[in-house]
C-alpha cells in the first residue's frame, strides 16, 4: 500500500518525500517524542505524559517495536490518551541506510503489526532512526503504507549536559508555523520533562497551536 502525501508539506531540501515540516502559513506546531530502546534502562518518562495531558497538549510518539515490547504498559498509556498519536520508529532502531530492502521492510511492518495489536490502530507515520534516510528508505516506507517524518527543530535533549533552560531556549527560538519538534521520552535522566511545560506555554504564547503530525499535515488519523 502506498501513501500519497500532500505536496505542500514535502521538504524539498531533503530526500524527496521526506516531510520535515508542515505548511508555513498555518500557526500549527507538532511536538514529537521518540521512544528508542538504545540505552538501558528502557523507560517512559511519565512526567512528560502527565505534563502534556495536564496542558491538554497533543503530541505524536514515535515508538520502536523493541521499546514497545519492553514497556507494553507505556504503549497502553499513550494509546489511551485521545490527544496523542502513535507512530513507527522501526523495531530495533537500526542504521537503515546500511540495511537491505528486506530488513527495512521487516523493521517497519513488524513494528506496525505489533503496535496495531497493542493499540488497535495502525501507524500512519514513520521516523527513521538517527535521522538517516534516503529515497530508497522513503520508497520502502511508502510501500508499507507509511509517510516518512523528520523534523525542523531539534531540541537536543539526548545531548550530555543538556538543561531544561537550554531545551526551552532552543525550541522557542527555532519553532515557527509548521514546525515539527523532535524530543525524547525514553529516559528520565533527560531534562525534557522539566522543559515541556515551558515549551508548551511558550509556543502558545506566540499564538501557535499544538497538534499531532496528522493534524499538522491535514491527514486523517489512523483508525
* CA dihedral of residues 73, 32, 89, 124 (deg, nearest 10): 90
Residues 75-105 have pLDDT tens digits of: 999 999 999 999 999 999 999 999 999 999 9
Is the pLDDT reported for residue 13 higher than 90? Answer: no
Query: How many helices (H) and strands (E) are present in the chain, helices listed first?
Result: 8, 9
Q: What's the pLDDT at 39? A: 79
- Whether 106 is catalytic is no
For the chain, the structural domain boundaries read 7-216
* Distance of alpha carbon 191 from alpha carbon 167, whole angstroms: 8
* Distance of alpha carbon 211 from alpha carbon 59, whole angstroms: 6
- The catalytic residue among 34, 45, 112, 157 is 34
Q: What's the pLDDT at 14? A: 63
Is the pLDDT reported for residue 222 higher than 90? Answer: no
Residues 119-165 have pLDDT tens digits of: 999 999 999 999 999 999 999 999 999 999 999 999 999 998 999 99
- Whether 157 is catalytic is no
* Distance of alpha carbon 142 from alpha carbon 207, whole angstroms: 33
- The catalytic residue among 89, 93, 184, 187 is 184
Q: Which three cell numbers stand for residue 61?
A: 510518539
Q: What's the pLDDT at 128? A: 98
Q: Which DSSP letter does residue 220 get? A: P
The count of residues in the chain is: 223
Superfamily designation of domain 7-216: Glycoside hydrolase/deacetylase (3.20.20.370)
Amino acid at each position: 500500500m502506498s501513501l500519497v502525501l500532500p505536496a505542500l508539506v514535502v521538504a524539498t531540501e531533503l530526500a524527496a518525500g521526506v516531510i520535515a515540516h508542515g505548511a508555513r502559513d498555518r500557526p500549527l506546531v507538532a511536538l514529537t517524542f521518540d521512544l528508542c530502546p538504545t540505552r538501558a534502562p528502557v523507560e517512559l518518562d511519565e512526567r512528560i505524559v502527565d505534563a502534556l495531558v495536564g496542558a491538554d497538549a497533543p503530541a505524536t510518539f514515535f515508538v520502536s517495536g523493541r521499546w514497545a515490547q519492553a514497556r507494553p504498559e507505556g504503549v497502553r498509556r499513550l494509546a489511551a490518551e485521545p490527544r496523542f498519536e502513535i507512530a513507527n520508529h522501526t523495531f530495533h532502531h537500526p542504521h537503515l541506510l546500511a540495511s537491505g530492502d528486506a530488513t527495512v521492510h521487516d523493521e517497519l511492518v513488524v513494528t506496525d503489526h505489533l503496535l496495531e495489536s497493542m493499540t488497535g490502530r495502525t501507524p500512519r507515520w514513520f521516523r527513521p532512526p538517527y535521522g538517516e534516510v534516503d529515497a530508497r528508505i522513503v520508497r520502502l516506507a511508502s510501500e508499507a503504507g507509511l509517510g516518512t517524518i523528520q523534523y525542523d527543530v531539534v531540541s537536543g535533549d539526548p545531548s550530555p549536559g543538556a538543561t531544561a533552560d537550554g531545551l526551552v531556549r532552543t525550541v522557542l527560538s527555532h519553532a515557527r508555523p509548521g514546525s515539527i519538534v523532535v524530543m525524547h521520552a525514553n529516559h528520565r535522566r533527560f531534562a525534557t520533562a522539566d522543559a515541556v511545560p515551558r515549551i508548551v506555554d511558550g509556543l502558545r504564547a506566540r499564538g501557535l497551536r499544538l497538534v499531532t503530525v496528522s493534524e499538522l499535515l491535514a491527514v486523517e488519523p489512523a483508525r
